[in-house]
C-alpha cells in the first residue's frame, strides 16, 4: 500500500486540493468508510449511519440519516466518494488516499495511548479520536520512530503505508474456527469500550492464543478457552474477531 500523502496541516474540507487537510468531520467519515473498505463492505446511507453512531459522542457528528446524506453529498462534490446505482457508497481514489491518511493517524494515536501513555486497551480507540486530527506529518514520523515502526494497530488493523495486508493469509473469523484447535487472535473490534474491556480481561486480544472449547450455533454461543479462563461469547461478537492458525507466523 502506498504511503499516505503529506498534509499541510491547514485548509478545510471544501477545498479540492489533495494536499490540504480535510475537516475533522470529513475525516471521521473517511475513517469509517475506509474500515468498511478493509472489510470489503460498501455501505448504503443507512448502513453508514449505523456505523457512525459507534463513534464517540465527543466527535460531535450528526447521525441522523438526513445529516449523513447531506455530508455524503458534500463529499461527492469533493470527489471523495461515489454513490452507484445500487445506492452503495464507495471511496474514490482521492477518498481512499484520505482514508489511508486518517486511518494511519488514528492507529498511531492508539499506540501512543497504549504504549507510551500506559492507558488500557479499551480506552485507546476513543482517546485516539481526540488526538488523530491534529497530527502533523513530522509528528507522525517521530511517533513511528518512538513506537518502533509498528505495522498494525493495537487492535490488529494494518497501519496504512507499512505494506501490511488488509487480512493476513489463512485468517478467519472466530465463529468459523474449528472446535479444539488453537488459534492466535489477529484482530478484535475496537468501537465498543465495554465489549473491549471484557475481551481484554478475558485475554482475547491480538497475539494471544484462544481455543474454541465448544460451539453451539443453535444457541448462538461459542465457548472460548484463553490463557486466563473459559468464556462464552455470542456469534455476533465472534464474527468480529479475526484469528489465524497457531502455526502461522505473524506478518513481518
Average pLDDT over residues 192-212: 93
Confidence of residue 212 (pLDDT cuts 50, 70, 90): very high
The larger pLDDT score, comparing residue 211 to residue 20, is at: 211
Work out whether strand 242-245 and strand 182-187 pair parallel, antiparallel, or are unpaired: antiparallel
| Beta carbons within 8 Å of 156's beta carbon, 6+ residues apart | 185, 186, 187, 188, 206, 242
pLDDT band at 3 (very low <50, low <70, confident <90, very high): very low
Q: Would the pLDDT of 105 be above 60?
A: yes
Per mean pLDDT, which range of 27-36, 137-146, 210-219 is the poorest? 210-219
The domain limits of the chain are: 1-162, 172-245
How much of the chain exceeds pLDDT 70, in percent?
A: 88
Question: CA 12, CA 20: separation in Å to the nearest integer?
Answer: 7
Neighbouring C-beta atoms of residue 85, cutoff 10 Å: 5
Q: Give the number of other Cβ atoms within 10 Å of residue 36's Cβ.
A: 19
Record the pTM: 0.83
DSSP string, 195-231: HHHHHHHTT-STT-EEEEEEEETTTTEEEEE-SS-EE
Of 250, 34, 55, nearest to 150 by C-alpha is 250
* DSSP structural state of residue 170: T
Per-residue pLDDT reduced to its tens digit, 134-184: 899 999 999 999 999 999 999 999 999 999 988 888 899 999 999 999 999
The confidence score (pLDDT) of residue 228 equals 81
What's the confidence (pLDDT) of residue 249? 46
Second-level CATH architecture of 1-162: Orthogonal Bundle (1.10)
- What's the pLDDT score for residue 17? 37
Q: What is the pLDDT of residues 55-100, one digit of tens each?
A: 776 666 777 899 999 999 999 999 999 998 999 999 999 999 999 9
Question: Which CATH architecture best describes the domain 172-245?
Answer: Roll (2.30)
- Give the confidence band of 7 by pLDDT, cuts at 50, 70, 90: very low
Is the Cβ–Cβ distance between 22 and 98 less than 8 Å?
yes
Amino acid at each position: 500500500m502506498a504511503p499516505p500523502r503529506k498534509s499541510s496541516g491547514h485548509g478545510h474540507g471544501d477545498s479540492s486540493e489533495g494536499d490540504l487537510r480535510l475537516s475533522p468531520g470529513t475525516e471521521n467519515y473517511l475513517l469509517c468508510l475506509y474500515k468498511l473498505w478493509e472489510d470489503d463492505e460498501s455501505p448504503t446511507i443507512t448502513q453508514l449511519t449505523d456505523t457512525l453512531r459507534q463513534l464517540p459522542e465527543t466527535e460531535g457528528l450528526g447521525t441522523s440519516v438526513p445529516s449523513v446524506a447531506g455530508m455524503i453529498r458534500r463529499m461527492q462534490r469533493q470527489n471523495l466518494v461515489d454513490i452507484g446505482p445500487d445506492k452503495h457508497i464507495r471511496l474514490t481514489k482521492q477518498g481512499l488516499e484520505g482514508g489511508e491518511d486518517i486511518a494511519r493517524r488514528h492507529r498511531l494515536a492508539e499506540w501512543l495511548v497504549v504504549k507510551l501513555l500506559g492507558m488500557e486497551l479499551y480506552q485507546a480507540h476513543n482517546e485516539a479520536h481526540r488526538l488523530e486530527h491534529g497530527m502533523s506529518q513530522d509528528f507522525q514520523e517521530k511517533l513511528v520512530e518512538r513506537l518502533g515502526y509498528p505495522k498494525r494497530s493495537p487492535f490488529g488493523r494494518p497501519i496504512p503505508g507499512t505494506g501490511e495486508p488488509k487480512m493476513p493469509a489463512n485468517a478467519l473469523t472466530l465463529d468459523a474456527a474449528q472446535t479444539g484447535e488453537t488459534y492466535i487472535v489477529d484482530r478484535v473490534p475496537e468501537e465498543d469500550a465495554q465489549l473491549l474491556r471484557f475481551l481484554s480481561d478475558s485475554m482475547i486480544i491480538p497475539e494471544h492464543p484462544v481455543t474454541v472449547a465448544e460451539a453451539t450455533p443453535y444457541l448462538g454461543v461459542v465457548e472460548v478457552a484463553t490463557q486466563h479462563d473459559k468464556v462464552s461469547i455470542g456469534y455476533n461478537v465472534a464474527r468480529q474477531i479475526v484469528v489465524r492458525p497457531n502455526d502461522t507466523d505473524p506478518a513481518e
